[in-house]
Amino acid sequence: MLTIGHQHYKTKLDNALSRNKKNITNNPTIIGGDLNAKHIPWGSTKNNPLGVNSLNPIQFFRLIRLNDGSTTHIDKAKNDLEV
């Protein structure tokens, strides 16, 4: 299991995958974290740099995304009802 935060995500993902390449390719692996990576094939309405940078390593290692694209964070400022 690898846990990666979104700060300096690109460097952390590349380093984590490079260091663990043998384990990832030979064993079941879970990568989790607060990535804030958005990409249209994952159900997002737009791509962001983190999503674009994530796509190649995810495809290279044949990883499966478990998030179905549903919102995982609710912004109270945008969801408060005004009466």
| pTM for the model | 0.56
Whole-number Å distance between alpha carbons of 81 and 83: 6
Q: Tell me if residue 49 falls in helix, strand or coil.
A: helix
Whether residue 74 is contained in a domain is answered as no
Q: Per-residue pLDDT tens for 6-52?
A: 555 556 666 777 777 777 778 887 777 777 778 888 778 888 888 88
* 15 sits in which H/E element: helix 9-19
Whether residue 82 is contained in a domain is answered as no
Q: The domain containing residue 58 runs over which residues?
A: 2-68
Query: Which of 1, 78, 65 minimizes the C-alpha distance to 38?
Result: 65
pLDDT of 75 strictly over 70: no
| pLDDT at res. 1 | 63
Are 5 and 33 in contact by the 8 Å Cβ rule? The answer is: yes
Count of the separate structural domains present in the chain: 1
| pLDDT at res. 81 | 43
Are 8 and 36 in contact by the 8 Å Cβ rule? The answer is: no
